[in-house]
Amino acid sequence: MAALLSRVYTAFSPPTVEKKSDAIKIGILGAARTAPLSLITPAKSHPEVIVQVIAARDHSRAEAFAKKHGIPEFKTSYQEVLDDPNIDAVFIPLPNSLHFEWSLRAIRAGKHVLLEKPATANAIEASILFSQPELSKPGGPVLLEAFHNRFHPSIRAFRSLINPAEVEHVHTDCMVPWVLADKNGIEFNYDLAGGSIAHIGTYTFTLLRLIFDAEPEECLSCETRTFGDGIHDRCDKSSKVSFRFPNGGIGEGTSTLWGPLLWKPSEARVTHRQVVVPDNTLPSDQEKLLTRQVTLHGFMQAFIWHRIDVKDSYVIRNKVDGQPVKTWVESKSQKVYSYKDAGAEFANVPGEDWWMSYRYQLEEFVNRVKGRRTQTWIGAEDSINLMKMVDMAYEKSGLGLRPTSSFG
Ligand SMILES: NC(=O)C1=CN([C@@H]2O[C@H](COP(=O)(O)OP(=O)(O)OC[C@H]3O[C@@H](n4cnc5c(N)ncnc54)[C@H](OP(=O)(O)O)[C@@H]3O)[C@@H](O)[C@H]2O)C=CC1
Ligand SMILES: O=C1OC[C@@H](O)[C@H](O)[C@H]1O
């Protein structure tokens, strides 16, 4: 418990480091709630990142935010940040519906972009955004969808325990207690591309794609709940979605932005098909079979707490009549807060156990901007395919795709 408290304390109050002379100067578009968590705090321990400016539409809001977070400059229009030659990159934590427009504007202004998840409102926007010619020019802007949890070492460790071809069933779920969501905020506003699928269902979809190492062929079902008040009717407050993947496996994603007060850690439970395990110590009329279940508890904010459980269920049976001769279970659990904990394969990947997923993400964003090698990355196809999955779900639900921006 003391270790957990110390780790979480340091994650939120990291050591402040001296900035290098060639540090990337980042501007934030919008005084969003998530900005301190997603960028400002992680930037404190990064020697190559300076959060230089915040833009908010309201003067006093911009000024107050800059003062509170020790940001040297503030502006009252997002465009002013893009027009500033002193700014190298922007962080975009705007409502989902504005991700497309402001990323396009930023790329056209030659800025690197760290773009809050989900990348866009739908797949049409994502396809257009990620195919901008500027992005493929050598030395051109870097565009990264900030799906922070993908960068946490626990995800790599979890994934290394899974054989995608043999995955039969996956259950994923995540929740946000209702007190943390705002019924009249961006999460439940259809015009701002709100909804629980768009906001947090995407965490479950992202994991399903990673686990199956494939894109779903079909959305089999998508049950949603709305407030049913005639105002927020096109935004799901919770959803249960099921997809079929190319190996025949089924992946489920359950999410709610209106969950109970008692927080339940997110969970991804992966069940493999039963497979034969070669064992030459057995008599020739017997065989050994294994069914593996791997569960990652806490995939959404793994830096706070998570646990990976592996449960291997073995059976030795007669080949002729299939009768079991012996059954047993082998279980193990693991926590992976830094790449050092992830084993020899990852030994040289930087990170500290107190690094937030957002800090790991920032490390890789900077590596890309500086032209260095990255260990984990979310490429254009990845972001586009995630939005295709979101569209499949919303289409199936009857709530309809989130609206496409008219910005061009
Ligand atoms: N990575 C993570 O852990 C999280 C990511 N997110 C993502 O970050 C983004 C922002 O979420 P969150 O911080 O909760 O949002 P907030 O509502 O706190 O902030 C959104 C910002 O968008 C600006 N904005 C511009 N136009 C509008 C408009 N028409 N209506 C409302 N706001 C507007 C506002 O900026 P201004 O200051 O100029 O008024 C506001 O500060 C979303 O894409 C969400 O999916 C959200 C939470 C956690
Ligand atoms: O990423 C997110 O995580 C927390 C939620 O409250 C928020 O709406 C979502 O966008």
Verify whether ligand 2 is closer than 6 Å to residue 325 (CB atom): no
User: Residue 279 domain-assigned?
Assistant: yes
Measure 34 CA to ligand 1 centroid, in angstroms. Answer: 7
Q: For ligand 2, atom 9, which residue shows the shortest CA distance?
A: 199
Domain that holds residue 62: 2-147
Domain boundary among 313, 329, 351: 351
CATH number at residue 273: 3.30.360.10
* DSSP 8-state symbol, 135: G
Show the CA angle centred on residue 170, arms to residues 205 and 220, nearest 5°: 65
Verify whether ligand 1 is closer than 6 Å to residue 61 (CB atom): yes
* 244 shares a domain with 279: yes
User: Residue 326 domain-assigned?
Assistant: yes
Instruction: Say which ligand is closest to the CA of 35.
Output: 1
Specify whether the CB–CB gap between 26 and 49 falls below 8 A: yes
Verify whether ligand 2 is closer than 6 Å to residue 199 (CB atom): yes
* 307 shares a domain with 164: yes
Verify whether ligand 1 is closer than 6 Å to residue 59 (CB atom): no
Q: Which residues contact 117 (CB under 8 A, 6 or more apart)?
A: 145, 146, 147, 148, 202
* 189 shares a domain with 334: yes
ipTM (interface predicted TM): 0.99
Domain boundary among 114, 147, 180: 147
Nearest-atom number in ligand 1 for the CA of 65 is 37
Record the pTM.
0.97
Instruction: Say which ligand is closest to the CA of 118.
Output: 1
* 188 shares a domain with 291: yes
The count of structural domains within the chain is 2
* 319 shares a domain with 276: yes
Nearest-atom number in ligand 1 for the CA of 148 is 1
* 203 shares a domain with 120: no
Q: Which of 200, 236, 304, 390 to mutate to test the pocket of ligand 2 (most atoms within 8 A of CB)?
A: 200
User: Residue 189 domain-assigned?
Assistant: yes
User: Residue 380 domain-assigned?
Assistant: no
pLDDT tens, N- to C-terminus, the chain (408 residues): 888 999 999 999 999 999 999 999 999 999 999 999 999 999 999 999 999 999 999 999 999 999 999 999 999 999 999 999 999 999 999 999 999 999 999 999 999 999 999 999 999 999 999 999 999 999 999 999 999 999 999 999 999 999 999 999 999 999 999 999 999 999 999 999 999 999 999 999 999 999 999 999 999 999 999 999 999 999 999 999 999 999 999 999 999 999 999 989 999 999 999 999 999 999 999 999 999 999 999 999 999 999 999 999 999 999 999 999 999 999 999 999 999 887 777 778 899 999 999 999 999 999 999 999 999 999 999 999 999 999 999 999 999 999 999 998
Domain boundary among 147, 167, 186: 147
* 71 shares a domain with 126: yes
* 305 shares a domain with 171: yes
Verify whether ligand 2 is closer than 6 Å to residue 220 (CB atom): no
Specify whether the CB–CB gap between 312 and 129 falls below 8 A: no
Measure 192 CA to ligand 2 centroid, in angstroms. Answer: 14
Verify whether ligand 2 is closer than 6 Å to residue 200 (CB atom): yes
CATH number at residue 131: 3.40.50.720
* 345 shares a domain with 202: yes
User: Residue 235 domain-assigned?
Assistant: yes
* 168 shares a domain with 125: no
User: Residue 392 domain-assigned?
Assistant: no
* 275 shares a domain with 159: yes
* 225 shares a domain with 313: yes
User: Residue 23 domain-assigned?
Assistant: yes
C-alpha torsion 156→160→162→163, nearest 10: 130
Verify whether ligand 1 is closer than 6 Å to residue 64 (CB atom): no
Specify whether the CB–CB gap between 32 and 55 falls below 8 A: no
Verify whether ligand 2 is closer than 6 Å to residue 180 (CB atom): yes
How many whole angstroms separate alpha carbon 353 and alpha carbon 10?
9
Nearest-atom number in ligand 1 for the CA of 199 is 45
389 backbone φψ class: left, alpha, beta (φ>0; ψ -120 to 50): alpha
User: Residue 332 domain-assigned?
Assistant: yes
